[in-house]
């Protein structure tokens, strides 16, 4: 008889959904960090549009990549999610400052935390989601 998942531990579907969402987030951050590190003209134009100097491109890309790597390692994933939240807060502020829609960095942050929540029982124990009981 197969054992049922214990409360607070992710089931197979939740675990894989969390892994997929987390992998998508890591791939996104990895792509954008690599793109910035290569310093193509489009990246330089983007930094100029947001009024950041060219010299800040590499340090920001390194910070982004470091946060994504910390997030990808299971033992440090919660710290990585916290760091990515800070990074995305800066991205949100940048979009607000130049008058652009700012929902995309917020949505990416939700994906980061949802992926982690679905795959990590440590986070589930910190933030339990409980179903409401119906009164009879």
Give the per-residue pLDDT at 11: 82
Domain boundaries, the chain: 12-125
pLDDT, mean over the chain? 90
| Nearest alpha carbon to residue 111 among 71, 73, 79 | 71
Token pair recorded at residue 102: 């700012």
Query: What does the angle CA 72 – CA 31 – CA 14 come to, to the nearest 5 degrees?
Result: 40
Helix, strand or coil, per DSSP, at residue 89: helix
pLDDT digit string (tens) for 75-130? Answer: 999 999 999 999 999 999 999 999 999 999 999 999 999 999 999 888 888 888 77
Give the single-character DSSP code of 7. Answer: T
Q: What is the pTM of this model?
A: 0.84
**How deeply is 94 buried, as exposed, middle or buried, from its count of CB atoms within 10 A (0-12, 13-18, 19+)?**
middle
């Amino acid at each position: 008889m197969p054992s049922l998942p214990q409360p607070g531990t992710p089931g197979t579907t939740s675990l894989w959904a969390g892994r997929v969402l987390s992998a998508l987030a890591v791939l996104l951050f990895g792509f954008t960090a690599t793109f910035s590190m290569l310093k193509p003209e489009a990246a330089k134009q983007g930094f100029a549009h947001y009024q950041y100097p060219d010299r800040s491109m590499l340090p920001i890309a390194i910070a982004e990549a470091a946060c994504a790597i910390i997030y990808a390692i299971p033992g440090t994933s919660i710290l990585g999610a916290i760091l990515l939240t800070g990074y995305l807060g800066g991205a949100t502020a940048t979009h607000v400052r130049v008058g652009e829609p700012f929902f995309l960095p917020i949505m990416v942050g939700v994906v980061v935390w949802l992926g982690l929540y679905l795959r990590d029982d440590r986070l589930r124990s910190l933030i339990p989601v409980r179903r409401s009981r119906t009164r009879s």
